[in-house]
Amino acid sequence: MRTINVEEITRNVKEMCIEANHFLSPDMDKAMKDAEKSEEAPLGRQILGQLQENLRIAAEDMIPICQDTGMAVVFLEIGQDVHLEGGLLEDAVNEGVRQGYVEGFLRKSVVSDPIIRDNTNDNTPAVLHTKIVAGNCMRIKVAPKGFGSENMSRVFMLKPAQGIEGVKEAVLKAVADAGPNACPPMVVGVGIGGTFEKCALMAKEALTRETGCHSEIPYVKELEEELLKKINNLGIGPGGLGGTTTALAVHVNTYPTHIAGLPVGINICCHVNRHVIREI
């Protein structure tokens, strides 16, 4: 048994919120650079160059890479041999978000009630997902999610007979409907299976996978590659201004489901796809 004080979680979440909002992750940086080299449209290449210049200035001057600093989404994988002390886990995560957004001078975008809409003034609460895993470590993923792309995400409750072709149609429809609103080039997370909420959660977590790293399941890997090609053939392009780079990656997660269902969640993220991962 290993004991972790929740203050350590607070400190890491604070630092990760600030890091995610100021610096592009290495995998996304590589994906953007590769996209600029392969983009066929001159305007598309120009837009990709401008986006990278914005990212460079943000990192050098410590200003947010996007004015929408997102709602903090936090995934925790907690080893079952970990004992937490010093307070409640959820409180510790929210305190880390509060410190990160207040001390990091990040925009506070969270309202306390979806209808009354009073701003909480510190970007809390976070959206927290926990999973118990083997071992005595904790893995933290912080992924601030902007709502330009979040609003373009979809869930389709398909019939089993629609099969994999129905899945492809659903993903392409979601991306086509999103168009320029999701700030392309985008990363597309897809969850197939489970239930209504499970497929959406899988799609969200798929965005935190290393960009371009494919599923180990052969047919899923093929599906990711095919969808990326078809999405990039839509012609939406960087900034929605046309080109051959509408998406940088498609990541698909799957889960067992009911004999009567085929749930598909599509969670779209903009070109920064903020995510930071640490293990403590």
CB-based contact 74:142 (threshold 8 Å) = yes
Over the chain (280 residues), the average pLDDT of each successive run of 10 is 97 98 96 97 97 96 96 98 98 98 98 98 98 98 98 98 98 98 97 98 98 96 98 98 98 98 98 97
Return the closest-CA partner of residue 250 out of 181, 198, 216, 203: 203
Q: Where are the domains of the chain?
A: 2-20+65-145, 148-273
Structure pTM?
A: 0.96
CB-based contact 191:177 (threshold 8 Å) = no
What length is written for the chain? 280
For residue 131, CA distances in Å to 74, 75, 78, 92, 128 come to 11, 8, 6, 16, 10
pLDDT of residue 86: 98
Return the closest-CA partner of residue 126 out of 232, 226, 54, 20: 20
pLDDT of residue 212: 85
User: Of all helices (H) and strands (E), which one includes residue 35?
Assistant: helix 26-38
CB-based contact 110:69 (threshold 8 Å) = no
